[in-house]
Amino acid sequence: MLMNEHSFFNIFMFISLHCQGEDDGSRLHNMNENCPIVGIGASAGGLEALETFFNNIPDNNGMAFVVVMHLDPSHVSLLPELLQRRTKMEVVKIRSSEQVAANKIYVIPPNRNLQICDNVLELIETPGQRIKSPIDSFFESLAQDQGRNAACIILSGTGTDGTLGLKEIAAESGFALAQSTSSAKYDGMPKSAIDTGLVNFILDPSEMPRHLIEHFKTSVMNRSNTVTDTEILTSILSQILLIIKNKMGHDFSLYKKKTIFRRIERRMQVLQIENIHDYLLLLQKRTQEGSQEVGILFRDLLIGVTSFFRDKDAFKVLSDTILPELLDKQPDNYTVRVWAPGCSSGEEAYSMAILLQEYMATSAKSMNIQIFATDVDEYAIERARSGRYPQTVINDLGEEYCQRYFTKEDGYYNVKKFLREMVVFATQNLIQDPPFSKLDIICCRNLLIYFSPELQRHIFPIFHYSLKDEGILFLGPSETTGQSNSYFEIIDKKWKIFKRKPHQENTTSGLHFTEPQSPLKMEKTNTRPAATQITELSALQLVEMILKNNNVPPCVIIDNRMNIVYVHGRLGHYLEPAEGRLSNQILEMARTPALREELSSAIHKAVLHKKDVLKKNIPFGMDDSKLFLDLSVKVLQEIGSLKDLLMITFTEKPHAKATTATDINKQLPANNDASILQKELDNIRDDLQTTIEELETSNEELKSANEELQSTNEELQSTNEELETSKEELQSLNEESVTVNAELQAHIDELSMANDDIRNLLNSTQVATLFLDTELKIRRFTPKMQDIINLLPTDIHRPIAHLSSSLQNIKLTDVANHVLKTLEKHEIEVYDVKDKYYKMRALPYRTSNNVIAGVVISFEDITSIKEIEKTLIDSEQRYKSLFDNSPFTVLEVDASGLVKYIDTHHLTTLEKLESHLKNKNFKSEELTNLIQILNINDSGVSLFDGSDKASLLKSIPKLILTTAFLSKHMQAIVEHKSNIIFTSKIHTISQKNLECKITITIPKIKKPDHAANTILVLVPV
C-alpha cells in the first residue's frame, strides 16, 4: 500500500512527536502564515541578470524578493526604478522596520547591511570591516528567521560574497540557486557558491523563476491531514538508510529522525517528488541517476556547516579562562593534544590552533601543538586540508587574525604553513573507528545535536576515555552530556564547557569502539573499489611469479617513496623492523648504519639516472661476524597499476665469510696484503670523510641560500599581500563602478527613448520651433522651421544672426535678446514674403534646475485664421449696409441697458431728438416712457407667467427695458429659443402715438459666461 492519500510531512511530524527525548534545538517556522522569502545576491554584471529574472516571473507568484547588491555609496541608486520597468510587482527601496509582504520586491540602499527578524527587515549601518559582505549577512539572518521557508539566489559578481550565507540557508533546509558560469558576466560569486556542493540548481536567470515556483508549489507540507500509516513510513525510511549504508558505508539509523526526515524532504522538494515511495524507487535505481542521488543525499545528511570562531563569546571564555587554567601548570615544550571530531571544512580546528598560538604568545610559553581534525566526509576533509577560504571570512576572524595567520591570493585566504602544520586532517567515523587518546581538549561542537540519545550515550564514554584527567570537552550551545553526566562536570553552563571527571569504577567497563547495534543489516562491501583491488592483486601476483621462475636472490621491491611493497626470500640478516612505530621504510629497517648509507646512495643514483646500480664487496657484520655482500638496485618497468618500482637484491660473498677477526687474520697472506688493504680502507675512509665535510659545507651554503630565499620570499609575500589589498580595493571599486555604469546605461537608454518621443512629438505637431542657446546659436529646430528660414542640419551651433528669414516685420535676434533680458514670454503676429501669417511665441529655455539656457521660438501658422477674419469683416460690412438701408428701426442694447447701436436712418420715424438718440450714453430706460404695450406674443406671456394676454397687458407697466429686466430675463429668453413680439404705441415728442410692432431678440452665443446684447426691432404698423 502506497501513501498516495497522506502527506509525507504529516507522517514526519507524527513520528517526531513520538520519538522520546529528541530535541534538535532548531526553530519552528510557521509555513502557513509567512510567504516564501527569496534573497537575491548580485554584484558586477548583476543588473542584466536581475532584469532577465523579473521579466520571466509572474506578478502574482506569492513570494517576496529581497535584492542585495554591492552599490556605490557615493551615488543615488536607480535600481528600484530600473527593476520597476521589468515587472508589475511593486519595487521599493527598503526602510527600517519594513514588514515583508508577498508579490513585492525590496531593494537594499547603498552603504547598508540588512537583517530580517520575524518577517521584518532592519537596516544596519555598515561596519568598518574592509571586506563588505552584505549578501552573506542577509542570507545568514534569512536562514535563522525563515528556515525552509527561505530561498537564495546567487547571480553574477566577483569575489565570494554570498557563499557563507548560502551554507546557512542549506543547513536550514532552504532552497539555493546559482547562475550558470556561462551566462554570468562575472562568474566569481556563482562559482564560489557552486563549489560548496550545496546549490540545488545551476541555471540561467530566465530559468530560475519556474524552478522557484515549482519548488514551493510542490512542497509536501500539507498539515491538514491526519496520519496513521507510520509503520509504512518507518519501513521506507529504513530502506533508504540501508541503501546509504550499503553504498556509502555510513549508518544514519541512529541519527535523529527529525533531521533525517527534514533532509529527505528537502531533496524531494528539489526533485519535485511528492511521494516518498517514488523517492525510494529513485534511490533503488541501478543507474547513474540513482547512484548520484545517494551521494547527494549522503552529503546532505552530514550538514557540513561551520565557521571560524562560531559563538565568539564561547571561544573568548575558552581563551581567557579555560586555557590558562589547563596549560599554565604545564612545562615548556609540553605537547598539547586536541581532537576536533566532525570538523567539516576545518574552520573550528583552525580556530583552536589560533587560540593556542595566541595563548603561547601571551604566556611566553613554547609548546608543541597537535590538533587532530576528523570527519566522515572525505570531500569536506579535502577542503579542510587545502586551507583555502573565501575572503568574507575576515568578518568572522577580524583583520588582525587574517594578516597574522592567512595569506591572500586570488580573492581567497590561505592558511599559513606554520598554522597548517599544527593540524592533521583525517577521515574517521566517530561512531565505529578507534578514537585518539591522551587528549587535553576535545572540541565537538554542533555535532551531537544530530545524534539520537542512544548514540550520544555511546559517544560520551569514548570522549571520557580519550581525555586526560581534567581534560576539557567543548560542546555546542544546544548540546549537553545528558544522562552521561557521571563522566564530566560542567565548567561553563552557558557555553557548554565540561571537564573530565576522574576515572570511576565501571565507568569504562562497557567501552567498545564499534558502532552500537544498528537496526539495518548491511551488505558486505569493501572499503576500496573492487576494480582497484583486483588490479593491484594481479600485479603483485605477476611480480611473485616472475621472481620465483627466475631464481632471483632474496630481494625487496620498493616504491618511489622507499616503502617496501613486496619481500622475496629471507632478508632477516639485512633488514628488520625498527623500534617504535611500525614503518615499512627500507632505510629505517636496515640493520647497520653502513648498510643504510650504501642503500641510500644506491637508491638515489638509480632514481636520479634511471639506471641499474651495483655495489660490490660491501662490508657488513653484526656482533663479531664479518660479512661482505653485493647490493643491486634495478629499475623495474611498470607492472599493472604499480609504477616507479625498484628491486633491491642482497647477495652474500661466500668466500669472504668469516666468523672472527682471528680467523680473518689467518686467512690473509703472510706478506703485507693485510696492511695494504687496511691502508686502502683508511684512504677510502678519508675520502669519504672529506666528501662528507664537503657535503656539510655545501649544505651550510645551501642553508644560508635558503634562508636568504626565505627572507626574500617573506618580502615578496609582504609585497604580495599589499598588492592583494590594493587588488581587493580596486575590485570593490570596480564592482561598484560596474553597477553604477549599468544603472547609468539604463538611464541613458531611457533618456534616448524620451528624446525620441519628444522629437516625434515635435515633428507630428507641424509647429515650426527653433531652440537657441544663450549666445543665440541654433541648438535644434523642427522640420517646419525650414519654411521660414532656409535651415540645414549643418546649421546646428551657427548663430541665428548669420541666417536670413522670410519674415517681413520682425528680427529674430531682437526678439531673442528681449526674452533673455526680460525673462518673459513674448507673442506677436508676423508674416512673410508669401503673405503667410504666424503667431510667434518666444519664451526662455529653462532647465530642470531652473537655469536659463537659451530661448525657444515657435511659429503657429494662422494664415487660415486671418482669412476667416477678413471674411467676417466683409460679412459684417454687408449686414451693416443691409440694416442701414432697411425700413425698420433697430436698436442694440447690452446687459447694462446701454444702447450700443441704432440706425439713424429711421430717426425721423420716431421723431425723437437726434441729439438724444445719437448720444453714446443713451440708455434703453429712457424709452420706457415713450412706449405703451398694446399686445404681446405667446412667448412674452410665458416669459411673464401670465394667464392671458388681457390681464398681462394691464399688469405690465410701460415697456420694461430696464437693466434689472434685461439681467433677470435675458437667459430665460435664450432658453425659450423664441423671440418676444408685441405691439406698442410709442409716444413721440409731439405727443403723437405711433403704433409699432416690437421684436426683442437675444442672439445665441457659444461662451456661456459672455453676456449677449439684446436686439430690438421696431416696425411701424
Question: In 862-987, which ranges are E strands?
Answer: 889-893, 899-902, 931-933, 980-987
Residue with cell 397687458: 953
Residue type, 48: E
Which H helix or E strand runs over 236?
helix 230-248
CA-to-CA distance for 667 and 665, rounded, in angstroms? 5
Check: CB of residue 444 under 8 Å from CB of residue 475.
yes
881 Ramachandran zone, left/alpha/beta (phi>0; psi -120 to 50): alpha
The total of other beta-carbon atoms located within 10 Å of residue 2's CB is 12
Amino acid at residue number 954: K
Convert 169-224 into a string of H (helix), E (strand) and C (coil).
HHHCCCEEEEECCCCCCCCHHHHHHHHCCCCCEEECHHHHHHHHHHHHHCCCCCCC
Beta strands in 510-554 (DSSP E): none
Give CA–CA dist 452/434, Å, rounded.
20
Write out the three cell numbers for 649: 637484491
Cell numbers linked to 593: 648504519
At 507, which amino acid appears?
Answer: T
- Alpha carbon distance 248, 295 (integer Å): 7
Instruction: State how far the Cα of 933 lies from the Cα of 945, in Å rounded to an integer.
Output: 17
User: Which cell numbers in the block locate residue 992?
Assistant: 403723437
- What is the spatial distance between Cα 348 and Cα 526, in angstroms, rounded to a whole number? 32
- The question of whether 161 is a catalytic residue gets the answer yes
Determine the residue type at 937: N
**43, 141, 307, 466: the active-site residue:** 43
Task: Give the sheet arrangement for strand 120-125, strand by strand.
Answer: 98-99, 120-125, 112-117
- Residue whose C-alpha cell is 566526509: 377
Amino acid in position 612: D
Classify residue 157 as left (phi > 0), alpha (psi -120 to 50) or beta.
Answer: left
Catalytic member of 72, 136, 145, 161? 161
What are the backbone dihedrals phi and psi of residue 296, each rounded to the nearest 5 degrees, phi first?
Answer: -65, -45
- What one-character-per-residue DSSP string does 591-629 give? SSHHHHHHHHHHHHHHHHHTS-EEEEEEEE-STT-BEEE
Annotated catalytic residue 43: yes
Residues 73, 111 contacting (CB under 8 angstroms) = yes
Distance separating the N- and C-terminal Cα atoms of the chain: 117
Which of the residues 6, 70, 215, 250 is marked catalytic? 70
List residues with catalytic annotation: 43, 70, 161
